[in-house]
Structure 1
C-alpha cells in the first residue's frame, strides 16, 4: 500500500485539491499535525478512519505508524500543512519509508504564502518593480540556516520576500530589512490565511513589529515584504499588450 503525502493547504477545508480530498476519503489511516490542521479538514475523512495526531510524536514514532499501516495493507493520508515542498519534513520521512521499502507519493497543496497574497488581493510580482519572490524562513528554535542564505543576501535583491516560521522574530527581521528596502517599504503579516479567524496586519517595516506584538502572534503567520505590495502599478506587462504580435 502507499503513504500519500498530501498538501492540506493553508487551513480552509475547501482549498484542498480534488485529488487530496479523494485520497482522504479512500485512506483508512490519516496522520496529521494537530497544531496546524483542524477538524474542518479532517471532516473529509470517513467515519472509522484511524486519526493519528503527530503533535507529540517524534520521527521514529511517526515512521512506525506509517510502516505499520503499510504492513496492514492500508493506505495512509499523511497531511502536511500548506504544500509538501516547503518546510514539511518530507525529505526525512520519505527517506525512512524508502529504507523500510514502503511506497509513497506526493499531492501538492496551496502554499500559505499564496493564500496570504490572495487574502491581500496582490500579485507578488510587478513589472519593472520586482519579478522574483524569495521563500525563506528565520532561525529560532530550528536547524541553522546555510551561511549563503543570510537574510541580507536576499534583501539586497529587493525581491518580494515571503518569510515562514519567522513571526517571533518580526522586529529583528524588520530592522534588518529596513537597511535594504527602507523603513517605509510595505510589510504585511497574515495570520491563519484562509481560515475563519484570519488576521491581516498591513504596515511598513517601521511599524509592523509593533502590530505583531500588539496582536500577540506567536505562530501560523506569514510575513510578506516588498514594494510590490503597495499595488501602485508602474508599468503594465506585455502579456495583454494590444500591440503585441499574437500571430
Structure 2
C-alpha cells in the first residue's frame, strides 16, 4: 500500500497519530525535503529507505514507489501540511491509477492552520469575515484569470496567500487594487510552528517594506483581513440569550 501522508505545519509532533504510525511502519519514505521538517524522519524504523523528492521528478518518484508497492512494501509519500493544498499529489494518484496500484490519503494540519495558531487568531470572526480564501500569486504555475488576487480581494474576506513571499510588492499592489484599504491588518508568518517561526505584523500597504526589513522571501504565509484587528461580534452560540438544541436561553 502507498500512503500519502500530511506532515503537518512543521513541528514534528503536529503530525496526526495515524501519520506517525504510518511513518513508523514504512519500508520506503519519499518526503518533500525542501519543505518537510526532517525531524519527522525520527519516526521511521531501522532499515527504512528514504528518498528526498526535492531532487526528483514526478516520474522518478513513481519509479521509487511503484516497485516497492508491488513488492508488498509499505510506502509513505510524505507531503508538507495537508496534501490537498498545493501538494501536487493528484498527478501522483493519477499515475498510480494508471498502474493499477492502490493508495490512501492521510490528512495533515495545513500551514494555514499553523499560521492561525501562531497568530493566536480566528479567521472567521462574527461580523468580520465568515470566509477564508486560500490562494497564491502566479509564478511558474499560472493562476486562472478569474482567481487573480484583485478579483479575490474584492470580497473583503480573510485571505491566506501561499507561495508568494517573494512577490510582496506586487501582492500589496493587487490587494489594494482589489479593494482592501491600505491600513487593513496583515501578517507575514514565516515557518509557522517550526523552531525558527517568525511573525511580522503589518498592513496591506506595508507588506513589501515589512518583508524586506525582516529579510523574509520564502517559506512564509501572508494573512490579510480584519480578523487581525480588535473589533468583532460575540458568538451567538455561547450567548446566554441564544437557545440551542442542548441549552435553553437564560433570558
TM-score normalised by length of structure 2: 0.94
Question: What is aligned with 1:203?
Answer: 202
Alignment of 1:20-59 (within 5 A): 20-59=19-58
The match for 2:152 among 154, 165, 169 is: 154
Question: What is aligned with 2:2?
Answer: 3
Question: What is aligned with 1:90?
Answer: 89
Structure 1 vs Structure 2 CA RMSD: 1.1
Does the CA contact (< 8 Å) of 1:201 and 1:208 recur in 2? no
Distance 1:203 1:42 in 2: 35
Distance 2:137 2:19 in 1: 29
- Equivalent residue of 1:239, what SS? helix
Question: What is aligned with 1:61?
Answer: 60
Does the CA contact (< 8 Å) of 2:8 and 2:108 recur in 1? yes
Distance 1:245 1:62 in 2: 54
Distance 1:184 1:218 in 2: 22
Instruction: Figure out how many residues of one structure are paired with residues of the other and give that number.
Output: 244
Distance 1:6 1:218 in 2: 27
Following TM superposition, the consecutive aligned residue runs of length 4 or more in structure 1 with deviations greater than 4 angstroms are: none
Question: What is aligned with 2:163?
Answer: 165
Distance 1:159 1:102 in 2: 41
Does the CA contact (< 8 Å) of 1:6 and 1:77 recur in 2? yes
Question: What is aligned with 1:175?
Answer: 173
> Which ranges in structure 1 are unaligned for 5 or more consecutive residues?
none
Question: What is aligned with 1:108?
Answer: 107
Shift of 1:171: 1.2
Distance 2:102 2:231 in 1: 48
TM-score normalised by length of structure 1: 0.96
Does the CA contact (< 8 Å) of 1:126 and 1:233 recur in 2? no
Distance 1:72 1:177 in 2: 51
